[in-house]
Amino acid sequence: MLRAAIFDIDNTLLKGRSSERIFIKYLLKKGTITPLDILRFLCTFLFNLLTLQGLYLKNNKSYLKGKEPAIVREEARCCFREHIAPFITPKAREEIERKKAGGYTIILVSGTLDVLVEEFKEALGASAAVGSNLQRTDGLFTGRLEGIHPYGQGKASILQRLALQMDIDLKNSYAYADHYSDVEFLGMVGHPMAVNAHPVLRLYAHRKGWSVVEF
């Protein structure tokens, strides 16, 4: 069985930063998305908030509605190289390299966009990576997600699926994440690591005897 080191991305590999927010700003500056796209995104967000649709708040990618996947992928590649990769913390890179040297398989599981997660996978030499899968219809993005969203219970479900597919020994694996919503995900492995931890996760980790580290 494989031993794995499974990493979240936002505020774990990137301390205090959201890769998707960086990407949105980049797309606006490039003109790939417009203020009208952002207005649509905000209106959808408010509608979901007012109608108490829970995780639909995170399912809202309406700023990408009608965009061509090939263009967005190329923009993701450029944005990652110029504005995201430089902020992967040295300690995060060092930990990944240590785990590789120790024979661990590197896996990324993150709620950020799949087009960005693929860039992290390539840059860090991960064996597998799962992000928020952008839905496509008639060759264009719909502004919605499809499949299991890698957040909360969804992230834990994805890890369980990967463990079955890749024959991962979870009891001898590591998981790294920053947020209290990752408690179930972290609790699935033998070595949970609370990284740059949200105060609630930090408190929970201390009570459970989990490692608390800063990248």
- Cα 112–Cα 68–Cα 34 angle in degrees, nearest 5: 75
Coarse DSSP helix, strand, coil percentages of the chain, rounded to the nearest 5 percent: 50, 20, 25
Structurally, the chain folds into a number of domains equal to 1
Q: What percent of the chain has pLDDT over 70?
A: 94
Q: What percent of the chain has pLDDT over 90?
A: 86
Q: What is the pLDDT of residue 43?
A: 83
Q: Let me know: does 35 contact 105? Beta carbons within 8 Å.
A: no
**CATH number for the domain that contains residue 151:** 3.40.50.1000
Encoding tokens for residue 65? 């509605």
Q: What is the pLDDT of residue 53?
A: 55
Q: What is the pTM of this model?
A: 0.91
pLDDT in tens, 110-129: 999 999 999 999 999 999 99
Q: What is the pLDDT of residue 51?
A: 61
E strands, 114-190, are 128-132, 134-137, 140-145, 174-177
Report which DSSP code applies to 83.
I
Q: Let me know: does 188 contact 156? Beta carbons within 8 Å.
A: yes
pLDDT in tens, 135-190: 999 999 999 899 999 999 999 999 999 999 999 999 999 999 999 999 999 999 99
What domain range includes position 195? 4-213
